[in-house]
Structures are given as structure tokens and as C-alpha cells.
Structure 1
Amino acid sequence: MATPFRSGRKGIVGSLEGPERDLLRKLFRDVILTLEPEPREDEDPLARLLGIGEETEPPEDPALARLLPGGTADEEGAAEFRRFTERSIRETKVGRLRMAAMDCESGRLELDDEHAAALSAALNDVRLVLGTRLGIESEADAARIAEYSDWQQARDVESYMALVYQFVSWLQESLVEAMLARLDSGSH
């Protein structure tokens, strides 16, 4: 069973069992696949190098749209925002997810500040995807998901995803608390 993260002299430490590590690495890979854009042969190499994209429409997948918001309610402004930032946002998120997946190779996680921040961001991206897939949009929706509390109750996709969502949320909360304790102690 996973242990809560704690702040120590050498960084932030926590532990995960084999099945928990496997689950997290799979979730990270799934979000990476969601974020990686389809390669385009007609893409301008200079624009690619500068991080300028040609796609300005919001993603059709609601989970991807949640990961890559438009930045503004104004459609024209959102299109410009996407054009100039979406590629770098995707690349940053994918990099953090890959770093987190590599950190989860070991049962004992010993994280410096950079790796702790990457893991926290990766867990947040997983939570955003799971929350979107579960339809969490209000307190009532969150309360519905919180009703699932026992892995023995997992009978369908929603109940399993709800339990995974709760586990990832607990793990992220534990990590953020350890990060805050580290800041408070001046150990960073």
C-alpha cells in the first residue's frame, strides 16, 4: 500500500507498491498519448521549431480540451493563444508525465524539488482527464464519486475510475502537503 509523501532532509520521500506503480505509469502513458499531436507532413519546420502551431480550434475530446484550455473566453483570442502556446504546453506536460513515469519505476520515490513538481503536475493532469471522463463538474458530482470507497465495490468502469481518481487525488494531496512542509522548513 502506498505511503503518504513526507518532506525530509534529502527531499520528498514516499513509496508505492508494484501494482500502484504500474497503474500510475499506465495512466501517465495514456495521458501522454492523449496529448501527443498527430504528426503533419505539411507543417512548416520553422514554425515547429519556434513552437507555433497551425491548429487553432479547441480539441474535440473534452478531456484534451480540459488539459489545453483556450486561455480566454474570446474565440479569436483563444485561437491566437492556442496557435502560440499549445505546442509548448503539450511538450511541457508530456515531459513532466515522462519524468513522473520514470520516477515511478522504483517502489521508493525520493524526489528533489523539480521531480516533486513534475509528479504533482502529472498527477493533476491525470486527475483532470479522469474527472472529465467521470463528468465531475459540481460538488454533487464530486460527492457521487466519493461514494465509492472500496476496491471490492468496483463493478463497472465508472466505479473503477472513481476509485482510481480518489487514489490519484490522495497521492497528489499527500505530495503537495510534503512540498508545502518543505517550503515551510526552508529545505528547498
Structure 2
Amino acid sequence: MAKAFTSGRRGITGYLEPAERDLLRKLFADIIVMLEPSSPAHQDPLAALIGLDMDVAVPTDPALLRLLPDAVKDDGDAALEFRQLTERSLRETKIGALRAASLGLESEKLVLDAGAAKLWSMALNDVRLVLGERLEIRDENDAERVHQVQDWGDADDVESYLSLVYNFVSWLQESLVQAMLAGLKSGK
């Protein structure tokens, strides 16, 4: 069973069972696949070098849209222009965090420095965003409905299973953030 992250002299530490590490590894890989851009073969090398992507569009998958939201509301042209300028970099940053967190899953005991903890927090947040969208969490009532599923033995459908995974990832992220805050307070 997973142990909450704690802050100590060696950094932030946590413990995950092999099945929990496998689950997280799979979740991180799934999000990476979602985020990997389908780059056209005719892409302008200069545009790629500066991070400009003229071929972007608003994602049709609601979960991907949660990861890559419009930054400008009520102005489609400005939102598209901003997306063209920033989406490639945002995707790369998210993919980098997910890959770094995945690499950290090689050992049952996790030991994170401040940089690794930040990447882990980003990766867990992206998983929660996707799961939250798939579970249609929109308000407190939806969150309570998801939180009521507590026992893996009760997971008899996809929504119940996703709810349990969402609750696990949420707990893990919360313990990580609490450990990060404790490290800040103690000056570590």
C-alpha cells in the first residue's frame, strides 16, 4: 500500500507498491500519447525552432482541451493566435514532466528533490485533469459522487474504477503538495 509523501533531510520521500507504480506508469504514458502532437511532414523548420505551430486547432477531445485550454475567452482569433505561439511549448513541458515522473517509478521508495517534486506535481495534476474530465466532475456534488467510491472490490464498472484511480491520484498529489509545503516551512 502506498505511503504518503513526507519531507525530510533527504528531500521528499514516498513509497509505492509495484502495482501502484505500474498504474501510474500507464497513466503517465496515456497522457503523453494524448499530448504528442501530430506533426505534419511539411513543417517549417524555423517555425519548429521558435516553437510556432500554425497548424494547431482547439482540441476536440474534452480531456485534451482541459490540458490545453484556450487562454483567451470570447475572442476566437486571439485564442488561436495565442495557441499557435504557446501550445508546442506547453505540450513539451507537460510531456517532459510526465516522462520525468515515469522515470522516477523505477524504485518502490521515491526520493524527490525540489525539482523532481515539481515535475511530479505537474504530472499528477495532468492525470487528475484528464480523469476529472472523463468522470465529468463539474462541481462539488460531482466530486462527492466520485469520492464516495472507496473500495476496489466495489469497482464493477468503468466509472467506479476511474473514480478509485482519481481518488488515489488525488490523495497522492495532496500528500506531495503537503510535503512540499512542509519542506518550504522548514527551509529544506
Identity, % of aligned pairs? 58
Q: How does 1:23-172 map to 2 (within 5 A)?
A: 23-73=23-73, 74-172=75-173
**Aligned-residue offset at 1:57:** 2.4
Letter in structure 2 aligned against 1:58: V
Letter in structure 2 aligned against 1:43: Q
Q: Secondary structure at the match of 1:104?
A: helix
Superposed structure 1 runs of 4+ greater than 3 Å apart: none
Q: Deviations over 1:53-91 (max 9, x none)?
A: 113421001011000011110211111110000000000
User: What is the CA–CA distance in structure 1 between the aligned matches of 2:79 and 2:142, rounded to whole Å?
Assistant: 28
Q: Secondary structure at the match of 1:31?
A: helix
Letter in structure 2 aligned against 1:15: Y
TM-score, normalised with respect to structure 2: 0.98
Q: Deviations over 1:127-167 (max 9, x none)?
A: 00000011011111111111101000000100000000000
User: What is the CA–CA distance in structure 1 between the aligned matches of 2:14 and 2:167, rounded to whole Å?
Assistant: 18
Q: What is the aligned-residue RMSD (CA, Å)?
A: 0.7
Letter in structure 1 aligned against 2:62: P
**Aligned-residue offset at 1:51:** 0.5
**Aligned-residue offset at 1:180:** 0.3
User: What is the CA–CA distance in structure 1 between the aligned matches of 2:107 and 2:54, rounded to whole Å?
Assistant: 39
Instruction: Give unmatched runs, 5+ long, in structure 1.
Output: none
Instruction: Give unmatched runs, 5+ long, in structure 2.
Output: none
Letter in structure 2 aligned against 1:34: M
Q: Secondary structure at the match of 1:91?
A: helix
Q: Deviations over 1:16-68 (max 9, x none)?
A: 00000000000000000000011211111110111001134210010110000
> What number of residue pairs does the alignment pair up?
187
TM-score, normalised with respect to structure 1: 0.98
